[in-house]
Amino acid sequence: MGVDYFLNLTRRVLEEIHYSLKLVNFEEGQSVIQKGTVAESIIFIVSGSLELYVEGSINDYSLDILKPGSVLGTYSIVTETKYEFSARAQSNV
């Protein structure tokens, strides 16, 4: 499966990224990101789905569902800003 995010990169850059990648799996319901943390990596969704949400006093409020091909953390890792939301695996990821 290709990721559109990489379409305009040179072969050399793609090779550098390839050797830096680390595959991480999450089980359904497992926390992936906590609100208030700083991004330490860019997350590429290869399979499954992630739910982005904010915690309310009674219920959590779903913001978005990320599917395969989605990318998370690019802005936060560059600017070193804290996440304004949390993310959990909606299915095995």
CATH superfamily of 4-89: Jelly Rolls (2.60.120.10)
Q: Average pLDDT, whole number, for the chain? A: 87
pTM for the complete prediction?
0.78
Question: Residues 25-63: pLDDT tens digits?
Answer: 999 999 999 999 988 888 889 899 999 999 988 999 999
Domain boundaries of the chain, sorted by first residue: 4-89
SS3 labels along the chain:
CCCHHHCCCCHHHHHHHHHHCCCCCCCCCCEEECCCCECCCCEECCCCCEEEEEECCCCEEEEEEECCCCEECHHHHHHCCECCCEEEECCCC
Supply the pLDDT for residue 1.
46
